[in-house]
Amino acid sequence: MNAALVGVTGYSGMVLYQLLQQHPEVAAIRLFGHPDNSQVQPLVEAVPNFIGDQTLIEPLDPAVIMAECDVIFFATSAGVTTELATPFIAANFPVIDLSGDYRLLDPTTFTKWYHKPAPAVSALQQSHYGLAEFANAAGHSYIANPGCYATATLLGLAPLVQQHLIDPTSIIVDAKSGTSGAGKKLATSTHFSQTDENLQLYKVNRHQHIPEIMQQLKIWDDNVPAIQFTTTLLPIVRGIMDTIYAKSEATAEQLQAAFTATYADQPFVRVLPAGQLPTLKEVVGTNFCDLGISYNPVTHTVLVVSVIDNLLKGAAGQAIQNFNQYFGFAATAGLQLAALMP
């Protein structure tokens, strides 16, 4: 199995490259840059962390990739994949896209939230939203990898929404992420002196992952009208913690049982025992999503805490899950990772 990767210089691309290197079914990895750049560049020049790696970043050539590779991953910024993916879509060549370009089915919604031209409707219709625990990627040649916040939020809400255990009008999500979620682009908000020993709210009610969350929630229950979604930047590098609130008339036992049943056969979702809530340290460096549930019978409010590593379960790790599903590999292939300790 030969894999092509576009976008290795970004944080998600770096992590995806590392995962592909250790995947038992991947024999070779070809790295590609933007086709407008005709220069071949040593990987170590673009990403000095890969000391001793002799791999070259080549100009993207769809004909070469489709002739010599079996799949292509795009770990590119929003808008870039739209420019580059057309020949692969036309040929039904396997694509796993970590960007947000093909997650939203409505082009008007994409333009509103991403402030960029949307892909063609015909291309969007071929896209599969690859939330790995709920939508098997087998048979879908274009797989849109979910966003990091969307992954943590949807996994935390799925049992509640699917089994109609909450008031669908009452969902509040307080989502918090480390600085790597903002990517490598320089910004004042992610400068060390701004983030260290600080908390910052950003993109309140306007984060680009909100519409994909709503798109999926409405598939599960069309009675969900909207969610209150707030994002906070944490003074850490990796990790997402969602604290999710909703009104419920179910009992604590019913809520716990719903989560346990939903994820009983999912190797990368761990439902903690009743009374326990997860921390980031338990998942950073892994592809796990850990979920903890608490119920307040006085306020009739259920609290779900959902934690993931944004670069793994929220990006590169889930891309490998979709890769494994598409090609029929073992679900855990290439993803047997350990949490970073201490």
Active-site residue, selected from the candidate residues 20, 143, 144, 148: 148
148 catalytic? Reply is yes
Residues 243 and 12: their CA atoms lie apart, in Å, by: 24
Q: Token pair of 55, please?
A: 């791999």
In the structure encoding, which two tokens stand for residue 2, read together? 């030969």
Active site positions, annotated: 148
